[in-house]
Amino acid sequence: MEKAKNESPGMILLDIEIPGMDGYKVCSMLKSDEKTEHIPIIMITAQTDTHDMVAGLEAGADDYLTKPFQVEELMARINALLRRAGGHAKPSVELGPLTVDLSAQRVYRDGAEIELTTYEFKVLQYLVMHPDEVVTKTALSEHIYEEDADRDSNVIEVFIGRLRRKLDPDGTLNPIETLRGRGYRLALAVTS
């Protein structure tokens, strides 16, 4: 609960069976707090009864997934939920001359595809999903790396630099703004 309030994650995967308090109660508390009510929640459980699914949705969950599940299904649900939460019902987002296809994980400038590495795309995706927000290096690092991965403090700066060069080779767009000591912000307005 404290981590959700202090760090405002992009979304929460919440198991019903957790120690101390069940997931229904946690979900209800998160959705009733103005600091966390906007965070999308996917409830995960081994319980397949319709009553359990209804209880999860009534507690405020945005989606519900039963175990066992395929990772591809989980990722598809996460992507759909993040698009909806970011106001992007369509899988493509227009940023001036740039088009970011969130489902195909491709980026185009004036119709020409821009080749990005997986990590570069993840950084851009996170910025697109958090328009008009200051995104810290820590938030970006946690988004792109596995939980136990070694994180180099300069790697986010490297990815941001590469993204700028690839998205804006002629220096006319300034797609990503640096806010010294605070983080980064997408400088292009989302137009669709």
Domains and CATH numbers, the chain: 2-85 (3.40.50.2300), 92-186 (1.10.10.10)
Q: CA–CA separation, 165 vs 60, rounded Å?
A: 42
Plot region of 82 (φ>0 → left; ψ -120 to 50 → alpha; else → beta): alpha
pLDDT at 109 (0 to 100): 93
Which residues are 13's β-sheet partners?
A: 42
Q: CA–CA separation, 69 vs 103, rounded Å?
A: 20
Mean per-residue pLDDT of the chain: 83
Residue for token pair 């066992």: 68
Q: CA–CA separation, 61 vs 136, rounded Å?
A: 27
* Residues of the chain where predicted confidence (pLDDT) is lower than 50: 88-89, 148
pLDDT at 152 (0 to 100): 61
Residues in CB range of 163: below 8 A, 6 or more apart: 116, 120, 123, 124, 175, 176
Q: Is 136 exposed, middle or buried (CB count within 10 Å of its CB: 0-12, 13-18, 19+)? A: middle
Token digits for 111? Answer: 């119709």
List, for residues 77-124, the tens digit of each pLDDT value.
887 787 666 654 456 788 889 998 876 788 999 999 999 998 898 899
8 A C-beta contact, residue 144 and residue 119: yes
Q: CA–CA separation, 70 vs 5, rounded Å?
A: 30
pLDDT at 153 (0 to 100): 63
